A and B are shown apart, each in its own frame.
Chain A
Amino acid sequence: MSVLLQAHHLHRYYADNHAVKDVSIELKQGDILALLGPNGAGKSSCMQMLAGTLAPSEGEIIINGYDLLEQPQQAKQHIGYLPDRPPVYPELSVDEYLDYTARLRAVNKAQVVTAREKAKHNCGLEQQGRKLIAHLSKGYLQRVGIAQAIIHEPAIIILDEPTIGLDPNQMREIRQLIAELGEKHGIILSTHILPEVDAVCNRVQIIADGCSVYNRSMDELRQQSQLSLRLEKTPQSTLIESLDYIESVIELAPGHFLLSGNQLHRHQSKLSQYCVEQGWGLLEMSPARNNLEQLFVHFTSRDGKQFDEEAA
């Protein structure tokens, strides 16, 4: 699979504020990469740099073989970008606006109408063509925003919180659309909705405090299963950690542990037997859901960092 986007060692300063610290991002064809992170972590800055609307203070960005800083026009031809606010002109109708965005991305004049109709079809905007953008609801506005990002069929689509402010049905539709688009294009999206990541993305990168702290494929993440274990007694967590199928143990409360390891759910009977043998008084053992949420909290909350420091 070809590499569509490579960003190496991006840094961004806002005056003295070092907002993005040495973030590297790579995107291959067919990838749907989720950028996660708390508000103000530097996600939007990263996306703006990738889209070429913000110049990085340091680092390089290669898009489909073109350097975004050296050959911006060739590189930007391959980018579709939806910023956190859809970049629309309220006084235009949907059709007029999409035609304009197509021409702006150098779509051939003869193909503008075809491109516009295709983008409208993909985003479920067939009925809205003649409506003024000022009269659209938030959900449709977001769709118009996505339509302008895909109208020139770019190799890379960058979506900054594409499902923000939508109702659950609309969210589902947009997710479906993103999954469909992901088959042909490379997509980078940011979101705060973790189930969304689980549903559509195949890679996840967490950014906290301007640094990239986690970057793995969802498959790897899914293989990491977790168990919640409640015991009557509170043994040393190192005793549990010494088992070869357990990679890490987090003590959530006295007698309550969170275990993680590769394919851990297959070892449940062995683990329960071990607990009984040790006489720990096994109360409850259940698969922990929301792997992603725990990861997110772990990497982005202060407690998580503390834990990291202790572990180090």
Chain B
Amino acid sequence: MIRTIAARELRSLFFSPLAWIMLGLIQFILAWSFLGNIDTFFSLQSELLKIRNAPGVTDLVVAPLFEFARILMLMITPLITMRLISEESQSGSIQLLLSSPASMTQIILGKYAGAMTFMLCIIGLTSLMPLSLGFATPLDYGKLLAGILTLTLNTSAFVALGLFMSTLTRQPIIAAISSSGLLIFFWIMNAAGTTGAADANIFNQLSFTYHSLQMLRGIVYSADVIYFILFITGFLMLSIRQLENRRVQP
């Protein structure tokens, strides 16, 4: 059932030009930044040779690429997730899902899986770029994997939040704007945490950035991974509750 709903979601996504434009644009922008990073690396290479234990190509090219991709994902995820539930509520096709023998959990998980599959395509294509460096130079694959993990966990969290916002309104555009706003808020929340006040740490703990920076450098703390898993589960459960609730009080 989850797979059926996810497949339909993905099919509709790829029937619209939106998905293709996004795939193309993101690849272009990331490739541009990737080439820029490589250029910088070449110009620094002679300097780097003089330093012992100098940062390698993975640190100077791959990590910045994933950091930039994370920002791009923040911008495009709301555009993908805005339609998930709100468009169906607007067009009335949500009635089909609600009257069929699928539980609310299956509906939400199906929608989530559909959108995530698309996002994973983008992440997969993005990961191919640094992998291509492997032909020319030895890469630190551990750090590369940590970068992919950071991007995947971040994106999964963005999609979960976007899906929840989409259950709240019938207007896709409102879902997009409110999820963008919330995502940016979670992104910069740690700005309040850097003041050094003792109680500011909570803001650090809540923000995406705080839990991503170490991971991007290749240090994967289980606490960071658990933060993302809790974030995703939390918003998925809220979405299920919200959908259930709408049947009671539309």
Contact = CB atoms under 8 A, between A and B. Distances in A.
Closest 3 CB pairs of A and B: A87-B96, A53-B98, A85-B92
Given A53-B247, A87-B92, A73 B101 contact: yes
A148 B92 CA distance: 14
User: Secondary structure at chain B's binding surface: helix, strand, loop or mixed?
Assistant: helix
B46 interface: no
B-side interface size class: 20 to 34
Contact of B100 (A14, A48, A86, A104): A104
Contacts of B11: 92, 96
Contacts of A92: 8, 11-12, 15
Contacts of A86: 92
A52 B249 CA distance: 13
Interface in B1-27: 1, 4-5, 8, 11-12, 15-16
A195 interface: no
B132 interface: no
B8 A83 contact: no
Contact of A105 (B94, B101, B250): B101
A260 B129 CA distance: 85
A77 B248 CA distance: 21
B97 A104 contact: yes
Interface string B90-104: 011111111111110
Interface in A111-147: none
B247 A106 contact: no
Given A76-B101, A81-B95, A96-B11, A55 B4 contact: no
Contacts of A58: none
B248 A89 contact: no
A88 interface: yes
Contacts of A72: 101, 103
Given A87-B92, A87-B93, A88-B93, A53 B12 contact: no
Nearest to A74: B101
Nearest to A13: B249
Interface in A55-93: 55, 72-74, 76-77, 79, 81, 83-89, 91-92
B4 A52 contact: no
Nearest to B103: A73
B1 A106 contact: yes
A91 B101 contact: no
Interface of A: 14, 48, 51-55, 72-74, 76-77, 79, 81, 83-89, 91-92, 96, 100-101, 103-106, 148
A108 B184 CA distance: 44
Contacts of B12: 89, 91-92
Nearest to A76: B101
A109 B144 CA distance: 40
B101 A77 contact: yes
A14 B1 CA distance: 31
A68 to B, nearest CB: 11
A89 B8 contact: yes
B247 A89 contact: no
B103 to A, nearest CB: 6
Contacts of A106: 1, 101
A145 to B, nearest CB: 10
Contacts of A54: 247, 250
A259 to B, nearest CB: 45
Contacts of A48: 95
A70 B94 CA distance: 21
Interface in B208-250: 247-250
A270 B96 CA distance: 57
Contacts of B100: 76, 101, 104-105
A251 B94 CA distance: 49
B203 to A, nearest CB: 38
B249 to A, nearest CB: 8
Contacts of A100: 4, 8
Interface centre among A74, A87, A106 (most CB of B within 10 A): A87
Contacts of A81: 95, 99
B95 A83 contact: yes
5 contacts: A73-B101, A76-B101, A83-B92, A83-B95, A85-B91
Given A54-B250, A83-B99, A106-B101, 4 more contacts: A76-B99, A104-B4, A104-B96, A148-B96
A92 B8 CA distance: 9
A52 B1 CA distance: 18
Contacts of A105: 100-101
Nearest to A77: B101
Contacts of A53: 95, 98-99, 247
